[in-house]
A and B are shown apart, each in its own frame.
Chain A
Amino acid sequence: GESVGLHLPTLSVQEGDNSIINCAYSNSASDYFIWYKQESGKGPQFIIDIRSNMDKRQGQRVTVLLNKTVKHLSLQIAATQPGDSAVYFCAENIIDSNYKLTFGKGTLLTVNP
């Protein structure tokens, strides 16, 4: 069935390094994608979004890349900090149900000092 999945369930990086979290989606009809960060004991927090008419969008220390050809989404975090340690989810908005986000399983990012 249609789904959003993550290649890597865990990622461990050194403080100061750049992090790349990947996400694959299978529904070519999706046209809106969001990255969420969830810290322990908290709700998912919006990080950045991108529409399918774009292939790159930048925020503060974060960049989302969208490759529609291979249905791949990535989140790049520059100069990763201990406070970036969390589970990161990609979410997919399916056109025929524009209210419903389908979430991936999540990737646990651990930043080592």
Chain B
Amino acid sequence: DAGVIQSPRHEVTEMGQEVTLRCKPISGHNSLFWYRQTMMRGLELLIYFNNNVPIDDSGMPEDRFSAKMPNASFSTLKIQPSEPRDSAVYFCASSFRQGVGNTIYFGEGSWLTVV
């Protein structure tokens, strides 16, 4: 079975450039999450969608970050303009929400380096 698919796997960009990360959740899942992982802060939830609607974006660092989910099979996380401190691994994850106890499945991550 196909898991959560993310692209690009690696990206190196210059400060000030726009970065777009893409995600295809597991088919049939109705919840989608974007996480960021750094050595200093560990795994942080950035935003959560349920049925394509953003439910909680309190983890989004600032206005430079935005996320969309135009349909059930696609989501983007955009950083504009990017800064060196945005360098991290960005994970997309999905689950089928059915009350308490939702196993979240992660993609392989997008490794972002902003120079």
User: Chain A: residues with CB nearer than 8 A to chain B?
Assistant: 31-32, 34, 36, 41-46, 49, 51, 89, 93, 95, 97-101, 103-106
Whether the pair B99, A106 counts as a contact (CB closer than 8 A) is no
Q: Which secondary structure dominates chain B's binding surface? A: strand
Q: Are A43 and B109 in contact (CB under 8 A)?
A: yes
**Shortest distance from the beta carbon of B6 to any chain A beta carbon, whole Å:** 8
- Interface residues on chain B, number (Cβ under 8 Å): 25
A-facing residues in B55-81 (Cβ within 8 Å): 55-56
Q: Which of A44, A97, A99 has the most CB of B within 10 A?
A: A99
Contact yes or no, B103 A49, CB < 8 A: yes
Q: Which residue of chain B has its CB nearest to the CB of A98? A: B100
Contact B101 A99 (CB under 8 A): no
* Contact partner, A42, options B48, B93, B108, Cβ 8 Å: B108
B42 touches A95 (CB 8 A): no
Do the beta carbons of B106 and A32 come within 8 Å of each other? no
Closest 7 CB pairs of A and B: A43-B106, A32-B101, A103-B43, A44-B106, A43-B108, A98-B100, A43-B109
